[in-house]
Amino acid sequence: MRLIIAEKPSMARAIAAALPGAPRKQEGAIAAGDTLVTWCLGHLLEQAPPDAYDPALKQWRLDTLPILPERWKLTPRPKARGQLAVIRRLLKQAREVVHAGDPDREGQLLVQEVIEHLGWKGPVLRLLVSDLNRPAVQRALARLEDNARYRPLYRAAECRARADWLYGINLTRAWTLTGRQAGHDGVLSVGRVQTPVLGLVVRRDAEIRDFTPRPFFVLWADLAVAQGRLRAWWAPGEGHPLDDQGRLLERAPAATLAERLPGAEGRLTALATQEKRQPAPLPYSLSALQVDAARRYGLSAKAVLDTCQALYERHQLITYPRSDCRYLPEEHFAAARATLEGACRADDTLSRWLAGADFSRRSRAWNDKQVGAHHALAPTGRHMEPARLSATEANVYRLIARNVLAQFYPALSTREVKAEFTILDERFRARGQEILEAGWKPLFTTRDEAPPLPPLTEGEACRVDETGVEDRETRPPEPFTDASLIKAMMNIARYVEDPAVRRTLREHDGLGTEATRAGIIETLVERGYLVRRAKALRATRLGSALIASLPEAAGRPERTALWEQRLSAIAEATAEPAPFLAELVEDLRRLLAHADAAGLKRALAEARGEEAQAAPARGTRRGGRSRTLNQSAKGSRRATQRRTS
């Protein structure tokens, strides 16, 4: 008997439906011919708690840190024992096992750790399914691989789990215990990904809080030219008081010039035109979709992930969603027309876009060299029934389908014009854009980026009709939102100060993974470190104090981004886990030496004062601060038994 172990029941049902013979349900499995398909329920196993290694470690004490297991143990999750028993029984009957976890690092770990924990010594094949529709699953079943090929991926995932345990357990215990000494009653959870993400928000909030606006002034002039009118902006020279971005810091020079300009004549002294062709945006990775869906529909990152899971599992309308890839396999190109016709016909908007697609076009999206274990999100071709989808599901589905449809549209072709006028020996600049061919752009927006300028000829005369001086102020950075925080996590090198590390990270950008970023944000909210105010994500007093009390390196992204590099090297079989874990232990010892109750007490007091100072400015309602603190404590207590990554 062949036993296929899927990651979850929905995957098992899809696999069973694609096998020869009528599926027959059994206890914890589905039979089809000589094959049984069973499933995990997400992770059936988890890292054992410290007291599994030594009962004395159940009590939290600083003198027992760091906790360093000599031989790692896994333990069944509380609700997983029944299904684990089913798999154990079925393994005794099997002649061959097929690993059918999701096609990513965690999917490899989730099923393989069960197979190894239960002591299976026989052959294991690997089934990679990224589309739950029957034809796609049948194609995947015809291409089974030796699971040994994916052992480095499993070792990387196992190493990640152990490293997260070491980092989270030891630092969480250390800061919780020093927090008690400082007067804080609750768990202070520290993790190698969640804490740097919190640090991003805390530092952004501090920039906003400490920002001092500075006035600057701009002068515009409406010009009459041979074939129309345009607005140009004064470019003051070095003799004027300017900041490092060339902004005028005093109003007097602009006001004086504005009085002299009406009726003045000048000439167009420099004219530059450039035609550009911009290909369609690539199909989505999960994070790219989360950014766009947050901006367009105000959805949280978790809401987008949950919606994608429903579209993938329940409705089977899209391919595997937890993907970090924005490219599609070349073999999918031939079937793209049929796939998109099936996916888009029932929706008015999508069918209108479908009618404009030219399926003879082949964009840069079809590229096997850019496709790893999984490809970009795409429609499966299954018939969409709008009545069965919620409004959010329909909106997210349209975004996914749109970005694939856009690959069959022409490039956006524009002509950009930059003009410089000389009037009264001063320079005035204008720029505009003309759309030559809209291409894919109408699928995304009907708004022009910049209005076109009238036809211009270098050397032609101009005359000033009207002028105006505008008083402006520099603005603080915007607070993080779900969209901008996900984007920051995707492009973390931008927030790294060390130039050498920043250069290294550009090829391996990313804090967290496609599968975890949404959960990290929600975890920080649940634990009381972040709070949502409208669309903004702001740090609470507790979150700010935690970052202030930690060594700076623990709240910055460099460490965890470099971790991902090392884990990628392990997954690619170019590095071993042991040296990485040994270096982590030494790093932990240095971090633990910074646990200081006095410093944490001071940080809590300072954060309390900063929050009280900021509350009137942001219109906090009476009693609002106490609610935030209560939520923080409640969230911290819930964190006690959670994984702290």
Q: Which residues are catalytic?
A: 320
Q: Which of 167, 106, 163, 4 is nearest to 579 (CA)?
A: 163
Burial class (CB in 10 A: 0-12, 13-18, 19+), 625: middle
- Given a contact cutoff of 8 angstroms between Cβ atoms, the answer to whether 589 and 232 are in contact is no
Coil, strand or helix at 277: strand
Question: What is the spatial distance between Cα 602 and Cα 171, in angstroms, rounded to a whole number?
Answer: 19
Coil, strand or helix at 386: helix
Q: Residue 637 CB: number of other CB atoms within 10 A? A: 14
Amino acid at 323: S
Q: Residue 208 CB: number of other CB atoms within 10 A? A: 16
Question: What is the spatial distance between Cα 529 and Cα 349, in angstroms, rounded to a whole number?
Answer: 41
Our measurement of the distance from residue 476's CA atom to the centroid of its chain's CA atoms, rounded to an integer in Å, reads 24
H/E run at residue 10: helix 9-18
Q: Which of 191, 42, 52 is nearest to 109 (CA)?
A: 42
Question: What is the spatial distance between Cα 117 and Cα 228, in angstroms, rounded to a whole number?
Answer: 77
- Given a contact cutoff of 8 angstroms between Cβ atoms, the answer to whether 306 and 290 are in contact is no
- Given a contact cutoff of 8 angstroms between Cβ atoms, the answer to whether 44 and 79 are in contact is no
The DSSP-derived string for 462-503 is: EEEEEEEEEEEE--PPPPPBHHHHHHHHHTGGGG---HHHHH
Question: What is the spatial distance between Cα 526 and Cα 521, in angstroms, rounded to a whole number?
Answer: 9
- Given a contact cutoff of 8 angstroms between Cβ atoms, the answer to whether 329 and 366 are in contact is yes
Coil, strand or helix at 366: strand
